[in-house]
Chains A and B, each alone.
Chain A
Amino acid sequence: MAEAVPSAYGPAEALEQTLGDPLVDSNPLSFRSTVEHDEREERPDLTALDAAGLGRHYVPAALDGALASHEALFWLLRSVGRRDVTAATSHAVSLPAAVLAWHAGTPAQQARVAEILLGGGQLSIAFHEQEHGNDFMATEVAAEPTATGFSLRGEKWVVANARRSALLVVLARTAAEGGARGFSLVLVDKARIDPSGMEFLERFKTLGVRGQDIDGVRFSDLALPPDALLGAPGSGFELSLKCSQVSRTLSLGPLVGALDTALRSSVAFLDARRLYGEPALAIPAVRAAVVDAFLDILLVECATLACTRAIHAAPDRLVTWAPAGKAFVTETAESALHDLSVLLGARFYLRDAWWQGIFQKIVRDAPLTRVSHFGGVVSLAHLGAALPALYERTAAAADAAGASLAPVFDLGRPLDPADGTRLRLVPHGADPLLLALRTAHERLESGALASETEPVILLGIRSEVARLRTESDALRAFLETLRAPHGPGHGRAPEMLTAARRHAALFAGTAALLFWLESRGGLDDFGKAGAWLHLALRRVRQRLQPALEVRPVEEDTSVSARVMDLFHRDRWFSLLAPPLAARGSRR
């Protein structure tokens, strides 16, 4: 079997070796230590991550960092996340602010931010307010111009690391009347202010990520220098919206990593458990649930990789891909965790038994990715509002209009440097991904595919692709009905959110299809064979259109054999299946 380890995995593979097996208690970020830190509400011990230079991967190479490929960064965060979501998010909490600085900072601001990160320091973003949540237009914190710069006043609520960070990026009102250009981003560099103008509120107690510092911060006429402004005056929303496309994508890595541990710990339990005189895995319903969880991970991986590679290869598409990816990944992850909790039975409910109680911690940590940073309903609502026009333009476009998506979906292709100037605020033209779904049946007729793929599997893929295409036509028709009679408020109809969720599922399914079409050559035998794709597409389609159907036994069996194979060989539950730190390996 060809072992195709992606080159982007390199740094993560090294990190895996450095950290060792998380089931070995004495290793850094072992399950034991992360659960104990969680119990004591203590920040996880990040020294091993700092020693491994994780922070360098947040800083572009041009600024002396190691960030060249966001795909490599995704794998790094996935690797930390499989050990501890809290550790990953506590460390990567700097990323949204960093992305803003790389995007809009002056050379001096960028140099300062790089200096902080390379020196092991951290950054925060302070956007939200207690009374206004995602209603940014109501932001009350104000930065008023003064003779010497700005004076910052007001309070920000639930800000990760506010106390600990060296620098905060704050969303503040800069025009009294507000409005789309009434808000700006300002940098609060703690080394350059009089600390008496800033105080921190008591640390918040949270359901998950209990070890992460989440504070509030109050500014009382805090004096800021004139160069505290990030980007042009009044560009606060625009910058936040653009950069969140990148940072939202990066926020998925830890969660995707945690799913691996959730499935691995469940499989380990079921592999050893005997029930009714047989191994629990011999129960067909148990095996089917394991297969489904694995398919969910593959879909989530494909959706995340598509967005991640698009940071380089199709940044102009992220405006709709990032929210679709985030919605699909967070919702699928949470439902997969729920399904796995059923498999794990009582052990999911215990905080100190079975894999040191890591599962219940993952369940509590997971929702953070959804609620924080442009999460949840608001992101879906934005996406939903953009969809009617996007579907219409896509329907009107010629089949050939879609630019080739090979740079995104051919995993063997090196990525061009990321280009933030190509990020968009509103989607333009047709969506090449939807176009690719529309024309995929032609590619699936190719002779090369037919000669290399089992006829049953290819037939299955073709039929699911045809059905997904029908679903996308149905969605277009549905979006049209939403457009017409409801008037200006239509964008907020609950049906709009449903439409956005449906689109997100189509996005993930199509991403999986395109990875297979573009990267098959580089996949191992299992990846090439395509049974996984057939079942994954089927799973997406059933989510859109539930139906009682008999599972395809042979393909099911090949996928469950793959799960056990990856489990026994210490490989990621992943399409690419790179190696994990070996079981029992000590640092």
Chain B
Amino acid sequence: MNAAERLELALGDPSSGGVIAFARMLELDELEAYPEAECRALDALGLNAHYVPQALGGRLTAFPELLALVRVVARRDLTVAIAHAKSFLAAAPVWIAGSDAQRRQLASLLLAGDQAALCLTERDHGSDLQDLDTTATSVGGSYVLSGEKWLINNATRGRALVVLARTASAAGPRSASLFLVDTQAPSGGAIEPTAKLKTAGIRGADISGARFRGAVVPVDARIGPEGHGLEIVLKGLFVTRSLIGALSLGAADTGLRVVLEFARSRRIRGQPVTQLPHARAILAEAFADLLACEVLAQTAARALHVVPEQASVLSAVAKLIVPTSVDASLRRLAVVLGARHYLREGAQGVFQKLARDAALVALFDGSTVVNLSLLALQLPRLAAPRSVDAAVAARGPALFDGAQDLPAFDASRLALVSRGRDDVLEALPLAIRALPAGSALRPRVDSIATALTADALALATVAPESPELFALAERHACFVAAAACVHSWLANRGAGDAFLADEAWVVAAVSGLLTRAGIPTPVPPACRETLALRLESLADAHRSFSLFPIPLAARG
């Protein structure tokens, strides 16, 4: 049994009780109360240790494992998952660029159950981190922090604050530095939490802020060299954006499960709603979209180990595709749920909560638009045609085959841009060659190849920052995701299961991504039916909705 399977069983069945019960989470949401007991229970089960690298005494070795663990929590509740895993998001820049002392300091806090917060945003500055109002002024052997961070997860409860502050007078890429601040250190008195903000989802979470009133922190609280804050933050975000899909995937599992259960029990004119063709199509396609998101999240997580040089591309693709795809699925699933998607009570009451909660994922840690703009910046180089080189071919199995061992993560290989390299699309010609004769994937993959060529030409004609460029970037992201699905199918179809061997899921997943890319591509009815049957059999077997399903904690 792997770590995620163990956690799943330890947490128990959320629909009937367990450590993170749906009913209790709805109650806490109504009360806007922090899920205290639930977070502590996760600590007791050692989840916090998975946020800390093994070399520092924790249990973090491979990112796909962390992805799977957070997904197990997220299928139960996003308030808990976000509140708890936020410490990892805050810690990532420290693991990447912190000194040994800083890494040990944060590791011991997190292992002791303390929380960390990542303080980037200010009231007047969101995505634009080059122009901050919070300052860190160097005075003698210390820095003095002044200003206010606003809209920060765990700002009040977090003991460790990772703070981005201005260290240069002029705005610009080297204007800010990052600091690791222990609010319980002597200067901590000059740091005050600000009031909890009322949010649309994750209502119980600690979303607040931190006001710095001349807080004095030692020089060695600075993470990395002065002026390197933005670069470090960005690299940390490459890691966390590659993993954050876990939150959306968990929500998608429960959303789909709740709607499927309702549709199977609800009868319209004598037959269950699952037999109404439109409802069956929505369920099947939501499942296919979930699998596509899973593949993309897995690939991004594996790529952190295999080709960290390309994290700027895959993290942006994963962050901009996964949360928005899940949001769109949930909106379609709500239609099947009818009036019940609108009720905050009853057996389906959890749906409206997870839909509100999930909408946050697209927003924080770099919004969809920000990730689109990052991808757009790299698009000219990414779009340039390239022949497959041997190294790309050699890395394929490690990227896409779930059974392959991963090399250790090497943060020093993270790069701000990938210089036009992207294994996933570069290896597409190899996948095309490997497709079986008569595969329904072929015309779909061909249309990706055609579109890539056309888009490379179109790219030369569009203006920088234009909406057309953003549209091209979104298409490109869809093609990367679709290619990842094709590679993943080829690499894993022999993994034992007839469903994995069948191309139904990948044809449907690729069709959905092509449609999103503006190339309307219907899902063949036979693929739909295969997916619907699989979905029903996974639900019956009480397993997760996944290509590699894990057993869920038993009911009652």
Which residues from chain A sit less than 8 Å from chain B, CB to CB? 128, 133-135, 137-138, 158, 204-208, 274-277, 283-285, 288-289, 334, 338, 341-342, 345-346, 348-353, 357, 360, 363-364, 367-368, 371-372, 376-377, 381, 489, 492-494, 496-497, 545-551
Contact = CB atoms under 8 A, between A and B. Distances in A.
A204 B346 CA distance: 10
A349 B363 contact: yes
A341 B362 CA distance: 11
B467 interface: yes
A350 B467 contact: no
A583 B334 CA distance: 37
B368 interface: yes
26 contacts: A133-B268, A133-B338, A138-B269, A204-B345, A207-B352, A208-B342, A274-B131, A275-B127, A276-B128, A276-B131, A285-B466, A289-B467, A345-B126, A345-B127, A345-B367, A346-B126, A349-B359, A350-B151, A350-B197, A350-B199, A371-B338, A546-B520, A548-B458, A548-B518, A550-B461, A550-B462
A463 B126 CA distance: 42
Contacts of A352: 197-198
Contacts of B509: none
Contacts of B472: 548
Interface of B: 121, 124, 126-128, 130-131, 151, 171, 197-201, 266, 268-269, 276-278, 280-281, 327, 331, 334-335, 338-339, 341-345, 349, 352, 356, 359-360, 362-364, 367-369, 373, 455, 458, 461-463, 465-468, 470-472, 475, 518-520
A383 B362 CA distance: 35
Contacts of A381: 278
Nearest to B470: A285
Given A133-B338, A371-B339, A285 B465 contact: yes
B471 to A, nearest CB: 6
Contacts of A204: 343, 345
Contacts of A376: 335, 338
Nearest to B199: A349
Contacts of A158: 339, 343
Given A368-B342, A493-B277, A547-B518, A135 B269 contact: yes
Contacts of A364: 200, 356
Contacts of A345: 126-127, 363, 367
A584 B208 CA distance: 30
B150 to A, nearest CB: 9
Contacts of B124: 274
Given A275-B127, A284-B465, A351 B345 contact: no
B297 to A, nearest CB: 21
A367 B200 contact: no
Most chain A beta carbons < 10 A, residue from B198, B342, B345, B367? B342
A158 B127 CA distance: 43
Contact of B200 (A289, A360, A496): A360
Most chain A beta carbons < 10 A, residue from B199, B339, B363, B471? B339
Closest 5 CB pairs of A and B: A546-B518, A351-B198, A288-B467, A205-B344, A360-B200
A355 B131 CA distance: 25
Contacts of B130: 276
B343 A205 contact: yes
Contacts of B339: 128, 133, 158, 371-372
B198 A357 contact: yes
A155 to B, nearest CB: 15
A545 B519 CA distance: 9
Contacts of A360: 200
A345 B520 CA distance: 29
B466 A284 contact: yes
B341 A371 contact: yes
B465 A283 contact: yes
B367 A342 contact: yes
B281 A207 contact: no
Contacts of A489: 277
A205 B345 contact: yes
Contacts of B335: 376-377
Contacts of B466: 284-285
Contacts of B266: 133
Contacts of B342: 206-208, 367-368, 371
Contacts of A275: 126-128
B277 A206 contact: no
A128 B463 CA distance: 53
A494 B281 contact: yes
A353 B518 CA distance: 36
B277 A492 contact: yes
Contacts of B344: 205-207
Contacts of A207: 341-344, 352, 356
A137 B268 CA distance: 10
Nearest to A137: B269
Contacts of B360: 349
B281 A285 contact: no
A334 B334 CA distance: 13
Contacts of B171: 277
Contacts of B151: 346, 350
Contact of A342 (B343, B368, B373): B368
Contacts of B518: 546-548
B131 A277 contact: yes
A206 B356 CA distance: 13
Contacts of B461: 550
A349 B82 CA distance: 15
A351 B269 contact: no
Given A134-B338, A285-B465, A551-B467, 7 more contacts: A158-B343, A274-B124, A360-B200, A364-B356, A368-B342, A492-B276, A492-B278
A3 to B, nearest CB: 32
A368 B338 CA distance: 10
A360 B360 CA distance: 12
Given A204-B343, A353-B197, A492-B277, A342 B369 contact: yes
B199 A351 contact: yes
A89 B281 CA distance: 32
B468 to A, nearest CB: 6
B207 to A, nearest CB: 9
A284 B463 contact: yes
Contacts of A134: 268, 338
B29 to A, nearest CB: 11
B463 to A, nearest CB: 7
Contacts of A493: 277-278
Nearest to A344: B363
